[in-house]
Amino acid sequence: MHRHPSPDRVRKSGVWCLVVGAMVLGAPACAAQAEPPPAAVAGAAQPDAQPAPAAAPTVTSAQVSGRAAPGGQVPTVELGDAIDVSIDGLRQWTVPSQGSPNPVPGTGKPPTQAQTGDPFQLILYLNGYPLRGVTVEAVRGDTITVRLRRTSDNRESWAALFARPKGDPVSITVGLPGKSPFPTSVPGPTINLRLYRPWVIVSSFVGFAALFGLFLVLARKHALLCDGDNTRPASQRSYSLARCQMALWTFTILGSFVFLRVATKDWDVLPTQTLILMGISLATGMGAAAIDASKQSSARNRLIELQGKDALTSEETGEVANLHSHLAGPTRDNWLIDILSDADGISFHRFQLFCWTLVLWVMFMASVYRNLAMPEFSDQLLTLLGISGGAYLGFKFPERKV
């Protein structure tokens, strides 16, 4: 006889079935929730990933425009030459003048503002020194063309380059003004910087020597560097300190100008301090000439007055002789003694002017040789030379040269 289950038993059996079913159905979901996500597929785009920054452009090589160095040798360049600089990644770094920037490689997305730039704003760096004022002339793909020039903006950089040991190669890279230059390949590109061609310097020296020789001939024949009356023979007239100083600075500055123009291919090689220096020497020379002319005029007038008398005393007779000697001027001894002496022998104010002129001349020539630039003397040095010249002129009023 079949027995029917009780209602309570049926309810308990249904609950257990529901629990077991929930456990069976929830196991895959729990396993899926506990299982880590699968690794990203290599090369798949990540929607939330930030684009990697573009690699900085790298300078790889440099050569003279239109003239490749033979056999991979280091190119030799000089001022005025155009240089082709190859930069890996320049096109990706460049912002075109029209349209959107080139995409960053590997991302397909446009670069940020920090990753782009204008290649025409790049400047050269030689041995780490920025050549401001030297602009890019042309851009062709990953190559820019820059012409080496010396300007007022980069004169200090060129002075440092010229002062380096001769013959050492010069590293080259580019960058934006005021920012770090681009990195270079390893080994980095270098150039041999030739300051000037020997034959140009020799020809310039020969021309200057010919001009200076002509001046010496005229000075010897016409006493251009001497004091005294023009009626006396040039061989008997003594040398003038002021005229010799004026000639020294004239030919020093002229010769330096010719040399620097040939070496640097730059016309702007005369700093303001050099013009002041020339002005001080000219003012000293003109002041000395004016004082001598005044003395000559007074002596001539006094001589005319005495010669107009019917009879002269013994004192007046001696004065007439002294006036004739004064008008004739001092007699030549030798160059150094002449420029340092008056009637009483070697004078301190003349020696002082001679010493300071010599000191500044040595400094001037050293700067031209080492830095290929005329020196920019401090205001104190120029004032000191001016004071020495003023003292020389002040003592020249009572000075006797007989």
Residues 27 and 14: their CA atoms lie apart, in Å, by: 20
**pLDDT of 54 over the 90 cut:** no
50 has pLDDT over 50? no
SS3 61: strand
Token pair of 61 as six digits: 């090589």
Query: What is the per-residue pLDDT across 327-360, written as a single tens digit (0 to 9) for each?
Result: 666 666 678 888 888 766 788 888 888 999 999 9
The predicted model gives 188-208 an average pLDDT of: 79
Q: What is the pLDDT of residues 108-141, one digit of tens each?
A: 555 554 446 788 889 999 988 898 888 899 998 8
| Amino acid at residue number 330 | P
Is the pLDDT confidence value at 17 over 60?
no
Residue tagged 């056999």 (tokens): 71
Instruction: Give yes or no for residue 362 having a pLDDT over 90.
Output: yes
What secondary structure letter does DSSP report for 170? Answer: E
Reported as a single tens digit per residue, the pLDDT across 221-274 is 888 888 766 666 667 777 888 888 989 999 999 888 888 887 777 787 888 888
Do 122 and 169 contact (CB within 8 A), yes or no? no
DSSP assignments along 68-135, one per residue: PPGGGPPPEEETT-EEEEEEETHHHHB--SSSPPPPPTTT-SPPPGGG-B-GGG-EEEETTEE-TT--
What is the rounded distance in angstroms from the CA atom of residue 72 to the CA atom of residue 69?
6
Residue 145 has what pLDDT? 92
How does DSSP assign 172-239, residue by residue?
EEEE-TTSPPPPB-SSPPEEEEE---HHHHHHHHHHHHHHHHHHHHHHHHHTTTB-S-TTS-GGGBPB
How would you classify the pairing of strands 123-126 and 170-175? antiparallel
The token pair at 83 is 């240089």
Rounded Cα gap, residues 269 and 87, in angstroms: 33
Average pLDDT, the chain: 74
CA dist list (Å): 99 to 96, 102, 141, 142: 7, 9, 17, 19
Q: What is the pLDDT, as a whole number, of residue 314?
A: 72
> What is the model's pLDDT at position 326?
61
Identify which of 155, 264, 247 has the alpha carbon closest to the alpha carbon of residue 204. 264
- With H, G, I as helix, E, B as strand and everything else as coil, classify residue 62: strand
Identify the H or E element spanning 367: helix 348-371
The DSSP bridge pattern shows strands 190-194 and 341-342 to be: unpaired
pLDDT score recorded for residue 320: 72
Domain locations in the chain as residue ranges: 58-195, 199-396
Mean pLDDT of 300-307: 74
Q: Which of 289, 75, 100 is nearest to 192 (CA)?
A: 75
Q: Which residues contact 66 (CB under 8 A, 6 or more apart)?
A: 82
